[in-house]
């Protein structure tokens, strides 16, 4: 049996305006040092733009908006039958490992990641990390201390999970 991981892509806006782009379930290798690292490294290679200008990409994956980034993520990680599955966009934020990628559409747009293990009693209170912080967090295998574990809700109770769009 594999270690599941849930990757959710959504806008950083709060309330009814929050858009959930995709909920993607990885059947195995969902832990920080595997899926977490691969997610961080993929996101760090992306450059979010608003319109295609024809400028050099500087070795980056050009993403014409957040929706394009999500499509390229799926294209990059879905290599055949199985392993990666799409979940409904209102799925519960509950899995062995949960990763929420949020896009702030300010200019320039920025990405941040929230992550925890199991279920979080209030996902909106989870610690938000920059891509560099999330990459370091994943490389070290997750929370390094009890305080960090509480911020990522490693000990949260599954019955308190919420849906992706809820606050």
Which residues, in sequence order, are bridge partners of residue 104?
A: 110
CA 33, CA 54: separation in Å to the nearest integer? Answer: 35
- Higher per-residue pLDDT: 158 or 40: 40
pTM: 0.81
pLDDT digits (tens, 9 = 90+) for 123-144: 778 888 999 999 999 999 988 7
- Summarised one tens digit per residue, pLDDT across range 78-123 is 999 998 999 988 888 888 999 999 988 776 778 999 999 887 878 7
On whether the CB atoms of residues 46 and 154 are closer than 8 A, the answer is no
């Amino acid at each position: 049996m594999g270690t599941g991981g849930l990757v959710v892509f959504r806008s950083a806006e709060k309330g009814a305006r929050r858009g959930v782009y995709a909920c993607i379930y990885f059947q195995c290798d969902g832990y920080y040092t595997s899926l977490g690292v691969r997610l961080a490294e993929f996101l760090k290679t992306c450059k979010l733009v608003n319109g295609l200008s024809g400028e050099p990409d500087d070795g980056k994956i050009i993403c014409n908006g957040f929706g394009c980034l999500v499509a390229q993520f799926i294209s990059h990680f879905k290599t055949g039958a199985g392993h990666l599955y799409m979940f409904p966009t209102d799925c519960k934020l509950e899995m062995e490992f949960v990763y929420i990628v949020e896009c702030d559409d300010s200019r320039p747009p920025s990405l941040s990641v929230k992550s925890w293990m199991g279920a979080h009693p209030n996902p909106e209170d989870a610690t938000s990390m920059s891509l560099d912080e999330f990459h370091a967090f994943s490389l070290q295998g997750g929370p390094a201390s009890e305080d960090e574990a509480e911020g990522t809700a490693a000990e949260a109770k599954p019955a308190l999970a919420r849906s992706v769009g809820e606050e």
